[in-house]
Amino acid sequence: MAKRFFAVSALLVLFGVLAVVVGSLVSVHRISNYARLVAVEVAVFSDVQCTRPVVNISWGLLSPGESKNFSCWMRSTSNVPVVVSMTVSNWVPLNISSWISVCWGCEGLMLYPGEVISVAFSLEVDSAIPYGFRDFTFDILVCGSG
């Protein structure tokens, strides 16, 4: 779309130059355009006022069979209703994801523009996790679609 606009603009300039050279009159009518794109976005914060974004979660020391929760707030920064979902990725070490699970209670929930809700992420370590795993990392991706 942008290429077409620039091509048309260049053509109009060329016609204007030719008109001056040939001595003809050319009239150009410019039509400005404005549109608002759909923004499908959500953000996660550590406070209900939504001023401190959550950039990492430290789950601390965990034992086999243990689970921990992390409470925070999610705000729709979208301008349309969005359905939220969560995925977990980038496990290090890769195979630890067989013994660690992460969940939340918001899967498939619809959020409206500006809406803020309480969220609790839950991490659980399988009691049968093999000896030898010590530290691990992963990413939680909170997505909004609409």
For the chain, domain boundaries:
1-35, 42-145
Task: List, for residues 6-51, the tens digit of each pLDDT value.
Answer: 443 443 343 444 444 445 677 777 776 665 555 668 999 999 999 9
* Whole-number pLDDT of residue 24: 62
Provide the β-strand partners of residue 142.
Answer: 86
Contact 129, 67 (CB under 8 A): no
pTM of the model: 0.73
42-145 architecture in CATH?
Sandwich (2.60)
pLDDT confidence tier of residue 146, bands split at 50, 70 and 90: confident
By residue count, the chain amounts to 146
Provide the β-strand partners of residue 53.
Answer: 45
Tokens of 122: 């839950």
Within 8 A by CB and 6+ apart from 92, the residues are: 136, 137, 138
Tokens of 53: 């974004």
Contact 40, 79 (CB under 8 A): no
